Structure 1
């Protein structure tokens, strides 16, 4: 697949690379063309190869696709705490996630780090440790990696911690989360209650008392939401609202500058967002499973078919965006040319990242060579992933 000149023994990457032989997704269609990369950017899209001496990446029989832009992925939490109370260092957790993401075609990652009012996996100490680790490892990971702050809106004291991270760009996107009502409902189920408590490190009794205290502070929530919105808008960080239950909630967040609806709880909310020119994010796992794992939540594939879902994310499963796009095409819901926009061009647009998401001159050379598989029984297989022209993943197994 790869010319020997491409990867040098010292690990450096040539500045000039021609990707040849692949059927590239350019301007909404697949064409067999040559994509020339110079200094990490797409320099030329043409029908001819360059002169002698240039490094080559041979894509014969493969698709050349823009890299996946994952607007929301929190599967790294399983690497951080694979069992309740069992922790591993953040550096190791992010490295594991990074390797997985690159292998499944994710080139831009928004790690969904939850900062909640509860201690433990989603509490203050964990949040600050993860934020510091991501800041320290920026530019040293395979994927272009940013933090997606999932802020629980009853976490009033947490504003002080996130303010400097939003201001200096350490946080790339901010989402309003409100899981208090769901948590209180789960407390009626002993198994779910024990799982919630185990994640926090508290006893069941102590966790129940904490939830009661947080519920009593809910009158402060609107002020917290507005303060967080002001911080994000001042820094130019995109705002998302999460799990909007109705159009009134969507309108409230829209008024604060949140122009992306993440996992809306009904088709009506999704349709309302799209009618206002906003992006709607659903989970790729929802497509693969044939519906949401949460009873009553909408089917992502149905929303795509109705043209009211514009973005698919990895959510809790990193392979999902790659496979979901091909599943939508295989099921006849969208041609692959349009399905791929849901995992690349559209999330880049939602994040304001105008330098990626499409194979165009001047954009970042975040590219994938993918074996699409011969039939529905054979999964698409990423054979190479490039981030700014640097090969971060390679497989010779087809």
Structure 2
């Protein structure tokens, strides 16, 4: 691992954008405005903005690499490696793959989730981004509760979310187009899918005690928990009482306010900001940010979204860029319990991205340093990269 110096850039230091230089050594930010000459590689960031790497605590765009068309599967290692390239090229240096472990067969099945976890663990050292496993547990999936509790106890799960899509699934049975999409990803016939949904929905009485046991297991293991699509303040309170302190995509303002009042992290989707609203017609994320009711933006289903969203918020006057960037760096790092990243500060992990933001609404990543390694460099950035001979640097 060679030292890297980054000079002449507009750096986000604390809450200010200032011209500064950074020295990276041994995977960390060794110094800000270092006194000694650089050695190793020097990156001239003149005209660029230098920002901490994006921490994405909920991204499931990798599913499209696993199954780009309904019923068309690709090897998980191929999907993960390609997803890693996509994430890093969009400035994401820490990625939590949000993996649905459902009662469904097919793409979101238990078997697929197991294979994905094993692939992440085996490929982790080869991936440029720090890649972690965010398990989205469908709460009606009672059959796999014991296995999931064992994974929690073994600390193989990095984030644990409670999902309940049963009502929307049952409602989808009356909507042919949406129902067909769900049927296609399971590989079942339409009739078999309908029978499966009816059987799973019938055991709702056992779900609350299953949630309680899983929450207890996660608390004992020190694994942070999220609840997905909370639809009322009462629902958010109930989850908080079980140690679930991250509210993921609350569906209305009243629920977001309850989360904020309880000190919970509040996650919305960055695509919501980029597109100007939710594709489901629910809460508008930019309004929640303006009201102080959002602490984290996640890529959700589109890796370019966090970068674009931060700049969109600044361009629209919702908040200045340093505050917008906190929503995709320091904010998600805090929510996930990662105290070693999210800011440009001495001693922190060297996750650094260089941005050409000359077009305010179309920022472009030109270089990425992840854990002290240069992992992405565009052709334009190569003009700014110079290897500094150690003999010269030492003079």
TM-score bracket, shorter-length normalisation: over 0.9
1:167 shift after superposition: 2.3
Matched, 1:43 2:26: no
Task: For 1:6-17, list aligned pairs within 5 A.
Answer: 13-14=1-2, 16-17=3-4
CA shift in 2, pair 1:351/1:53, >3 Å = closer
- Match 1:391 to one of 361, 374, 383: 374
- Distance in 1, matches of 2:139 and 2:19, equals 49
Contact (CA 8 Å) 1:73, 1:111: kept in 2 or not?
yes
Across the aligned residues of Structure 1 and Structure 2, the Cα RMSD in angstroms comes to 1.2
- Distance in 1, matches of 2:171 and 2:380, equals 47
What secondary structure is seen at the aligned counterpart in 2 of 1:183?
helix
Contact (CA 8 Å) 1:261, 1:280: kept in 2 or not?
yes
What secondary structure is seen at the aligned counterpart in 2 of 1:22?
strand
- Distance in 1, matches of 2:93 and 2:116, equals 20
- Distance in 1, matches of 2:175 and 2:365, equals 41
CA shift in 2, pair 1:174/1:52, >3 Å = closer
Q: Which runs of 4+ in 1 moved over 6 A?
A: none
Structure 1 alignment gaps of length 5 or more:
1-12
- Match 2:317 to one of 332, 336, 361: 332
Matched, 1:374 2:364: no
- Distance in 1, matches of 2:228 and 2:358, equals 35
- Distance in 2, matches of 1:135 and 1:163, equals 18
1:232 shift after superposition: 1.1
Correspondence for 2:83: 97
Matched, 1:80 2:66: yes
Moved more, 155-164 or 203-212: 155-164
Correspondence for 2:128: 142
Correspondence for 2:8: 21
1:231 shift after superposition: 1.6
Contact (CA 8 Å) 2:161, 2:227: kept in 1 or not?
yes
- Distance in 1, matches of 2:323 and 2:29, equals 21
- Distance in 1, matches of 2:160 and 2:152, equals 8
Contact (CA 8 Å) 1:305, 1:334: kept in 2 or not?
yes
1:131 shift after superposition: 1.2
Contact (CA 8 Å) 1:18, 1:49: kept in 2 or not?
no
The structure whose RCO (Cα within 8 Å, separation 6+) is larger is 2
**TM-score (normalizing by structure 2):** 0.94
- Match 1:319 to one of 304, 307, 310: 304
Matched, 1:115 2:101: yes
CA shift in 2, pair 1:257/1:52, >3 Å = closer
Matched, 1:225 2:225: no
| Alignment deviations for residues 177-230 of structure 1 (CA, whole Å, 9 cap, x no partner) | 000000011110111111111111111111111111111111110111011111
- Distance in 2, matches of 1:227 and 1:375, equals 48
What secondary structure is seen at the aligned counterpart in 2 of 1:21?
strand
Structure 2 alignment gaps of length 5 or more:
382-395
What secondary structure is seen at the aligned counterpart in 1 of 2:179?
helix
Matched, 1:59 2:45: yes
Aligned length: 381
- Distance in 2, matches of 1:53 and 1:252, equals 54
| Alignment deviations for residues 294-340 of structure 1 (CA, whole Å, 9 cap, x no partner) | 02x01001101111011100000000000000000000101001100
- Distance in 2, matches of 1:111 and 1:319, equals 15
Matched, 1:197 2:183: yes
1:163 shift after superposition: 2.5
Task: For 1:261-340, list aligned pairs within 5 A.
Answer: 261-295=247-281, 297-340=282-325
What secondary structure is seen at the aligned counterpart in 2 of 1:258?
coil
- Distance in 1, matches of 2:25 and 2:163, equals 41
**TM-score (normalizing by structure 1):** 0.94
- Match 1:185 to one of 167, 171, 188: 171
1:144 shift after superposition: 0.1
1:170 shift after superposition: 2.1
- Distance in 1, matches of 2:207 and 2:136, equals 15
What secondary structure is seen at the aligned counterpart in 1 of 2:31?
strand
1:52 shift after superposition: 5.6
